[in-house]
Amino acid sequence: MVEHIKIISAKQVADILHYDELIPIIEKALADFSGRPESGIIQPIRTVLHLPSANGFLGIMPAYSEKDNALSTKLLTFFPKNTNISTHAALIVVFDCCTGIPKAIMDGDVITAQRTAAASAAATKHLTNGIPRQLAILGAGVQARSHYHALSYLYKFQQVKIWNHHMDKAKLLAAELGPEVEAVPEAKEAIQDADVIVTVTNSSVPVLQASWVKQGAHINAVGSCRPDWNEIAPELMHQAVVYVDTKEAAVKESGDIIKSGATIFAEIGEVIAGKAAARTTETTIFKSLGMAIEDTVTANLVMKKLDGRT
Ligand SMILES: NC(=O)C1=CN([C@@H]2O[C@H](COP(=O)(O)OP(=O)(O)OC[C@H]3O[C@@H](n4cnc5c(N)ncnc54)[C@H](O)[C@@H]3O)[C@@H](O)[C@H]2O)C=CC1
Ligand SMILES: O=C([O-])C1=[NH+]CCC1
């Protein structure tokens, strides 16, 4: 059986994935997820193993889409103390939906970076107030980079400010990205004029304060995927209208939700499907935890492209 499994590298995945195709696919997956079980999506809450000795995590993330005929599991590790090597590492195993036979093992790092940014881009498209001109990113790692590219695919920002707790990393990323991108020493300075804010740090305590955020801004809160970690000040969680990718996981996994006790207004998939309001004139937060179905539909796109089926 193993001889027939395709091994698909990060480079192959990166060559295939582009935001023009990925954002609509993720948008549809988010809507289908919120329309389950009728939409044919099956996705349990992920299993997360905590390794106290290394303060690391292993997540197992299976999902199935009947419409897409796609079945896969992502295996993801998160070791936040890693230095000089990545803090997250992922593999995706793709199965044949009729026989259950594994078809491929592919790199999951590029997919994790890009599908997460595509989900934030989809949320921003639905929740932002008018055309955003100023982007702020807190964090300067893998997700900071992919969020810049996904959001810049949708909008031409006049100014992008990046803050990181180590300024040198923010400076390096700013230099790599575009002439409109600037590294700033204080998070508050990055946030004050921002129409769209992205939080993508490994912090377990708030990096974004309520008083810094202008009324009507949209926030993609992407980090803090642990129940006892929060990246957003509880006051801001209460002031904003809170959207999530999955309500079921948000109340189990998200410290931003659990520690603040904030009310979830809707899943972003309900907004995309026209079943919940997009309250764009208010300050909005999209609390993203990441969903296996995003990986499954993205891996399916990679498979289809490699097979010449699309
Ligand atoms: N919602 C989702 O679907 C996903 C969420 N994530 C989460 O997004 C966050 C960023 O992920 P990556 O960019 O892949 O990680 P990364 O390790 O590449 O980047 C993390 C950034 O946070 C900074 N940082 C580390 N400790 C910090 C602290 N105590 N305070 C402030 N900044 C700190 C680092 O300097 C770095 O710039 C993580 O929390 C990760 O778990 C990652 C993948 C998917
Ligand atoms: O969905 C995902 O891949 C992740 N969520 C938090 C860390 C990685």
pLDDT tens, 202-242?
999 999 999 999 999 999 999 999 999 999 999 999 999 99
Which pLDDT score is estimated for 310? 74
Which pLDDT score is estimated for 119? 99
- Confidence band, pLDDT 50/70/90 cuts, at residue 145: very high
Which residue's alpha carbon is nearest to atom 22 within ligand 1? 201
Query: Cβ(220) to ligand 1 under 6 A?
Result: no
Ligand 2 pocket: which of 120, 225, 231 to mutate (most atoms <8 Å of CB)? 225
Count CB neighbours of 213 within 10 A: 24
Which residue's alpha carbon is nearest to atom 8 within ligand 1? 223
- Report angle CA 164, 165, 170 to the nearest 5 degrees: 30
Tell which residue, 126, 124, 143, has the closest CA to residue 135: 124
Give the ligand with the smallest distance to the CA of 43.
Answer: 2
Max Cα separation, the chain? 58
DSSP string for 142-210: HHHHHHHHHHHHH---SEEEEE-SSHHHHHHHHHHS-TTEEE-S-HHHHHTT-SEEEE----SS--B-G
Question: Which amino acid is present at 127?
Answer: L
Range 123-290 classified under CATH 3.10.180.10? no
Query: CA-based Rg of the chain, rounded to a whole angstrom?
Result: 18
Query: Cβ(77) to ligand 1 under 6 A?
Result: no
CA distance 310 to 301: 8
pLDDT digits (tens, 9 = 90+) for 88-120: 999 999 999 999 999 999 999 999 999 999 999
Mean pLDDT of all residues in the chain? 97
Which pLDDT score is estimated for 83? 92
Which residue's alpha carbon is nearest to atom 6 within ligand 2? 225
ipTM passes above 0.95: yes
Query: Cβ(229) to ligand 2 under 6 A?
Result: no
Q: Is the pLDDT of residue 2 over 90?
A: no
Residue ranges per structural domain of the chain: 6-111+293-307, 123-290
Which residue's alpha carbon is nearest to atom 7 within ligand 2? 225
CA distance 280 to 212: 19
CA distance 202 to 94: 29
Which pLDDT score is estimated for 152? 98
Is residue 255 within 8 A of residue 226, CB to CB? The reply is: yes
Is residue 200 within 8 A of residue 222, CB to CB? The reply is: yes
Which residue's alpha carbon is nearest to atom 8 within ligand 2? 290
Q: pTM of this prediction?
A: 0.98
Which pLDDT score is estimated for 141? 98
Give the ligand with the smallest distance to the CA of 75.
Answer: 2
Which residue's alpha carbon is nearest to atom 16 within ligand 1? 141
Query: Cβ(76) to ligand 2 under 6 A?
Result: yes
| 76 alpha carbon – ligand 2 mean position (Å) | 7
Q: Is the pLDDT of residue 253 over 70?
A: yes
Which overall architecture, per CATH, does domain 6-111+293-307 show?
2-Layer Sandwich (3.30)
Give the mean pLDDT of 271-285. 98
- Confidence band, pLDDT 50/70/90 cuts, at residue 309: confident
Which percentage of the chain shows pLDDT scores above 70?
Answer: 99
Which pLDDT score is estimated for 1? 63
Q: Is the pLDDT of residue 3 over 90?
A: no
